[in-house]
Amino acid sequence: MDKVFTSGNHCIAEAAIRAGCRCYFGYPITPQNELGEYMAANMRKVGGVFLQSESETAAINMVIGAASVGTRVLTSSSSPGVSLKQEGLSFLSGFEFPAVVVNMMRGGPGLGNIAPAQGDYFQATRGGGHGDYRTPVLAPASVQELADLTVKAFDLADKYRTPILLLGDGMMGQMKEPVVFPEPITGLPEKPWALKGRGDGASRYHASLILDSLEMERHNWKLVRKYREMAEKETLYELYMMEDADFVVVAYGTTARIAKGAIKRARKDGLKVGMVRPITLFPFPDKILQKVARQVKHFLVFEMSTGQMVEDVKMALDGLQTELSFHGRPGGVIPTPIEFSRVIHRYYRRMQK
Amino acid sequence: MELVNKWPKYYKQDVVTHYCPGCGHGIVHRIVAELLEEMDLGKQAYLVCPAGCAVLAYRYFDFDVIESAHGRGTAIATGAKRANPKLFVISYQGDGDLSAIGTAETIHSANRGENICVVFINNAVYGMTGGQMAPTSLIGQSTTTSPAGRNPDVDGYPLHITDVVAEFPGVTYAERVSVATPAGIRKTKKAIRNAFQTQVDGLGYSIVEVLSACPTNWKMDPVTSCKWIEEEMVKEYKPGLLTDKREERRKEKG
Ligand SMILES: Cc1ncc(C[n+]2csc(CCOP(=O)(O)OP(=O)(O)O)c2C)c(N)n1
Ligand code: SF4
Ligand SMILES: [Mg+2]
């Protein structure tokens, strides 16, 4: 397969089509409009459905409809729109329907701005809607990874019967890089639970309403078991320059890219810095952080927010003897590798004292 | 002797209804089940039930059913029908569901002319949550949130959403009926049959608004409730055909 030069938003759309996604529902919002536009241009060519909905709320409910009949389905948006999708995410989780939801985050709260930010981490990883559920979250850091993780998101969604969030930001969506697309899939997994009309068999229904509280409790714990299984089998992370590191940066997505530049600089100055880059944000790769804690003295969490993932790092390191600090640039500010390498220097010097 | 009144094939037998005595939902449920059998649509039927008293419709319907978040029925129906056009898709909704919280979904699914059927139960109150004022409540109607009667100065006017969508080019068939009398029940069945046939023929969106009793929240007995529909409700919501563009649509499609 040839390399093509493409933007993150186009890349997700193309990868989704190759992953067998045949329905896309969405409402325009910057900085992810190119995704829907690519779907508008290409989905119908493969016999699929593109529909520009009247709102993100409508879009996510159309997703529920398409998912319920067994179709691979995608919706995408950015922060304010993803807030409107929370109702549907809660229902998808309750129904245990597979779907992929993209959030190309922007500055907030409110309308905020259209610059890249990572302020929706809590919303994404905690289960941003009502009720006792979580959404698995994949956080790519390159256009190639957007392609690979889009395909993976559909597979995980089907395997675990859960909505999966693909969490990027304006930078991920807009930047162009060379990418090798996976070959289109040839078959879809069986979905015996999907509603296809009863035919000659028994009728079925899907309801999130569970009036019996003991039964509701059982359903809640069932979801938890599913998340635990995912934590065991599906947790993903990247280790960067960790062999001899005594100081580690924890960053995901765009900030991890910036951190790599900063770490290279710091390495030139002789600092033994490495990075753990969580790729799944939920399940969070806490085991590797605990392992790394035996090797390094200092953790520096770097986010384009006021500090959200840092709480997961804190929880992962609970009870362990290490130092933890945080550097954040919220609001759509894109920090530079130089800026961040200075931050690394500062904390590194402190650690050595 | 021939048994005339048979149990509908697509209605479960071993269940006790949760609907109150005199409630219109049960009547319309039976009509839907009968028609799916008569029109041989039960095998590919997919019905969206609403948040509202009909949320438990899957207890009775013996074909595939999905539940909807409050008001989102036609969005779910849109997603399902677009994803699998072979399904026969019905969105069953109450008046709070369809004309308050789900107004945007109602208007836009209608305007897109989705090839789905909407069965709209107008009982002029929020039944499930205990009889609060709905957009459809009559002027002067007393509800738990309009205890002194609906006052248009502060509460606005009864919303005629079926009349609104009937104006849309995308809406092929719209009719308002009532299940307050045996004649009305027969008309209701005929209207829903037309709506169903519209989808079967691929002619687009159809909606049937059914004026339906909620004795419990109206604080009336079932007989008085039916009278109230016949004497009061029909003054505001006149039963009749609101649009029938099936012939036009057929010509367009060739
Ligand atoms: C988002 C949301 N808001 C409120 C509710 C509570 N609720 C459930 S049903 C309902 C009203 C139902 O009234 P209607 O649609 O007229 O149906 P009926 O029960 O009268 O048949 C409300 C407000 C809900 N389930 N979800
Ligand atoms: S509350 Fe009203 S709508 Fe609900 S079941 Fe009872 S009579 Fe029917
Ligand atoms: Mg009602």
B168 interaction partners in chain A (CB closer than 8 Å): none
One-letter identity of residue A204:
R
For residue A3, name the pLDDT band (cuts at 50, 70, 90).
very high
Which H or E run contains B131?
none
How many beta-carbon contacts under 8 Å exist across A and B?
132
pLDDT at residue A352, as a whole number: 87
**Residue A83: CB atoms within 10 Å:** 18
Is A184 a residue whose pLDDT tops 90?
yes
A38, A184: one domain: yes
> Among A199, A233, A267, where does a domain finish?
A233
Q: Which of residues 102-141 of A touch B (CB under 8 A)?
A: none
Does B17 fall in a domain?
no
CA A64 to chain centre: 19
Q: Does ligand 1 have an atom closer than 6 angstroms to the CB of B105?
A: no
A206, A246: one domain: no
Calculate how close chain A gets to B12, using CA atoms only, in Å.
Answer: 10
Q: How many residues does chain B have?
A: 254
A164, A249: one domain: no
Helix (H, G, I), strand (E, B) or coil at A122: helix
Question: Which of A71, A207, A208 lies at the smallest CB-CB distance from B83?
Answer: A71
Q: Does B85 touch chain A (CB under 8 A)?
A: no
> Which residue of B lies nearest to A198 if distances are taken between CA atoms?
B43
For residue A277, give both structure tokens: 């880059």
A109, A199: one domain: yes
Q: State the residue range of the domain holding A348.
A: 237-352
Q: How many domains does chain A have?
A: 2
**pLDDT-above-70 percentage for chain A:** 100
Asked if residues A99 and A163 have their Cβ atoms less than 8 Å apart, the reply is: yes
Ligand nearest to the CA of B50: 1
Is A101 a residue whose pLDDT tops 80?
yes
Q: What CATH number is associated with residue A320? A: 3.40.50.920
Asked if residues B72 and A57 have their Cβ atoms less than 8 Å apart, the reply is: yes
B66 interaction partners in chain A (CB closer than 8 Å): 64-65, 68, 95, 195, 205-207
pLDDT at residue B14, as a whole number: 86
Does B2 fall in a domain?
no
Are A64 and B62 an interchain contact pair (Cβ–Cβ within 8 Å)? no
A164, A250: one domain: no
Q: What CATH number is associated with residue B205? A: 3.40.50.970
Is B4 a residue whose pLDDT tops 90?
no
A273-278 and A237-240: which strand pairing?
Answer: antiparallel
Sheet holding B171-178, edge to edge: A205-206, B64-67, B45-49, B88-94, B117-122, B205-211, B171-178, B240-244
A63 interaction partners in chain B (CB closer than 8 Å): 79
> Among A175, A204, A233, where does a domain finish?
A233
A246, A196: one domain: no
- DSSP one-letter string for B212-248: ---HHHHTS-HHHHHHHIIIIIHHHS--EEEEE-HHH
CA A301 to chain centre: 18
For chain A, give percent helix, strand, coil, nearest 5.
45, 20, 35
Using CA atoms, how far apart are residues B47 and B59, in angstroms rounded to an integer? 12
**How much is the average pLDDT of B184-191?**
98
Q: State the residue range of the domain holding B109.
A: 25-253
Does B56 fall in a domain?
yes
Asked if residues A106 and A170 have their Cβ atoms less than 8 Å apart, the reply is: yes
Is B47 a residue whose pLDDT tops 90?
yes
Give the tens place of pLDDT for each residue, B73-96: 999 999 999 999 999 999 999 999
A280-282 and A247-250: which strand pairing?
Answer: unpaired
Ligand 2 centre distance from Cα of residue A205 (Å): 22
Sequence-distant (6+) residues with CB within 8 A of A81 are: A27, A29, A56
pLDDT at residue A203, as a whole number: 97
Using CA atoms, how far apart are residues B151 and B239, in angstroms rounded to an integer? 24
**Residue A249: CB atoms within 10 Å:** 30
A64, A204: one domain: yes
A281, A132: one domain: no
Using CA atoms, how far apart are residues A66 and A154, in angstroms rounded to an integer? 14
B45 interaction partners in chain A (CB closer than 8 Å): 197-198
Q: Does ligand 1 have an atom closer than 6 angstroms to the CB of B123?
A: yes
Q: Does B84 touch chain A (CB under 8 A)?
A: yes
A227, A283: one domain: no
**How much is the average pLDDT of A70-97?**
98
Give the tens place of pLDDT for each residue, A29-65: 999 999 999 999 999 999 999 999 999 999 999 999 9
Calculate how close chain B gets to A6, using CA atoms only, in Å.
Answer: 28
Q: Which of B15, B37, B195, B9 is nearest to B116 (CA)?
A: B195
With 0-12 CB in 10 A as exposed, 13-18 as middle and 19+ as buried, what is B251?
A: exposed
A121, A148: one domain: yes
Using CA atoms, how far apart are residues A167 and B40, in angstroms rounded to an integer? 45
> Among A233, A268, A293, where does a domain finish?
A233
One-letter identity of residue A30:
T
ipTM over 0.95: yes
Those residues whose beta carbon sits under 5 angstroms from the ion ligand 3 are B 94-95, 123, 127
For chain B, give percent helix, strand, coil, nearest 5.
45, 20, 40
Does B181 fall in a domain?
yes
Can you tell me which residue has the tokens 């009926």?
B177
pTM for this predicted structure = 0.98
A47 interaction partners in chain B (CB closer than 8 Å): none
Q: Nearest 5 degrees, angle CA A267-CA A287-CA A248?
A: 15
Give the tens place of pLDDT for each residue, A272-328: 999 999 999 999 999 999 999 999 999 999 999 999 999 999 999 999 999 999 999
Side-chain half-sphere of A50: how many Cα atoms within 13 Å? 17
A261, A193: one domain: no
B80 interaction partners in chain A (CB closer than 8 Å): 65-66, 68-69, 195
Is A6 a residue whose pLDDT tops 70?
yes
Ligand nearest to the CA of B22: 2
- DSSP one-letter string for A28-75: --TT-HHHHHHHHHHTGGGT-EEEE-SSHHHHHHHHHHHHHTT--EEE
Task: Determine which residue's CA is closest to atom 5 belonging to ligand 2.
Answer: B19
Question: Which of A55, A204, A206 lies at the smallest CB-CB distance from B67?
Answer: A206
The residue whose CB lies within 8 Å of the most ligand 2 atoms, and thus the one to mutate among B25, B28, B229, is B25
pLDDT at residue A1, as a whole number: 65
Ligand 3 centre distance from Cα of residue B93 (Å): 8
Task: Determine which residue's CA is closest to atom 1 belonging to ligand 2.
Answer: B127
Ligand 3 centre distance from Cα of residue B55 (Å): 12
Can you tell me which residue has the tokens 């130092």?
A323
CA dist list (Å): B59 to A130, A246, A292, B26: 25, 62, 53, 12
A229, A242: one domain: no
Does B3 fall in a domain?
no
Does B129 fall in a domain?
yes
Give the tens place of pLDDT for each residue, A211-270: 999 999 999 999 999 999 999 999 999 999 999 999 999 999 999 999 999 999 999 999
Q: What CATH number is associated with residue A188? A: 3.40.50.970
